[in-house]
Amino acid sequence: MTERRADPLARLDHVAQALDDLRGQAAEQPLEVVAKGIADNAVATLPEADAATITAVAEDGHLYTLAATDEGIVDIDECQYRTRRGPCVEAATRRHPVRAVVGEHEQEWPEFTAAAKAAGINTYLSVPLVLPGDDEEDEVVGGLDMYSLTAQAFDDYDEHVMRLFTTAACDAFINARRWAATNRKIGQLEAALTSRAEIDQAKGVLMAIHGCTAEEAFTRLVEESQRTNTKLAAVARALIESLRR
């Protein structure tokens, strides 16, 4: 224990370097890759940490493990998700760190306690991942969960260090959301351009068949769309496909 706390300045230097590296990755890598890097660095930073996972909160509210340094530890998270109780659930849903020795909360979290004991885990530390809100309330998007085989492994200093890592994790979540939003906009734009091309093609077909103007051809498409309660692009697509057949 003494050796673990002997040089806090050196540990902070390690944390600072790890955070710099993670911030660079957060803008360029998928969320899962960055999350795995955060978990790996967190374990490397706490000498008595043996494994780490990152819990994520999905849009529908269900919890899942986004990254893990040891797949054998994922079952401990999974039993908490199923029962909706345990330290990672507590941290991820109630916005506060949870640090304790396995067995101290056996009556509250019997399934977690049994799973942790079966894996040889003696101490845990879970820190929430909270995205700052603008006008609305801050949003909890998950938690960083540390596990140790050592009894009494984590202290206040470790908890504060892990809070630093949550800032990098939150940056990764924010970038991932921006990336997803950009992809959605690109998809919508591509769909709009495709729809425009199909409508123009259908107008050309109607103009050739009926000898009408572009405006009259478009009016025909709109009327069919309203009559069948079908999107204009779908009406145009159906017309083109009928001619192909």
User: Domains, the chain, ranges and CATH?
Assistant: 8-180 (3.30.450.40), 183-244 (1.10.10.10)
- Alpha helix ranges (H) inside 55-155: 74-83, 87-94, 110-118
Q: Give the pLDDT band (50/70/90) at residue 129.
A: confident
Percent pLDDT > 90 in the chain is: 21
Q: How crowded is residue 196: how many other Cβ atoms within 10 Å of its Cβ?
A: 12
What pLDDT is attached to residue 214?
Answer: 84
At 98, which helix (H) or strand (E)?
strand 98-101
pLDDT tens, position by position, 210-239? 888 888 888 888 888 888 888 888 888 888
What is the pLDDT averaged over residues 101-113? 91
Distance CA 115, CA 86 (A): 11
What pLDDT is attached to residue 1?
Answer: 41
Of 160, 161, 163, 154, residue with least CA distance to 1 = 154
Give a three-class secondary structure readout of 177-230.
HHHHHHHHHHHHHHHHHHHHHHHHHHHHHHHHHHCCCHHHHHHHHHHHHHHHCC
What pLDDT is attached to residue 76?
Answer: 94
pLDDT tens, position by position, 42-60? 888 888 899 999 998 888 8
**3-class DSSP assignment, residue 47:** coil
Residue 135 has pLDDT above 60, yes or no: no
Average pLDDT, the chain: 80
Distance CA 128, CA 141 (A): 8
What pLDDT is attached to residue 199?
Answer: 84
| pTM for this prediction | 0.64
Percent pLDDT > 70 in the chain is: 77
What is the pLDDT averaged over residues 81-107? 88
More confident residue, 132 or 130: 130
Amino acid at 169: A
What pLDDT is attached to residue 208?
Answer: 86
What is the pLDDT averaged over residues 136-145? 78
Distance CA 127, CA 55 (A): 10
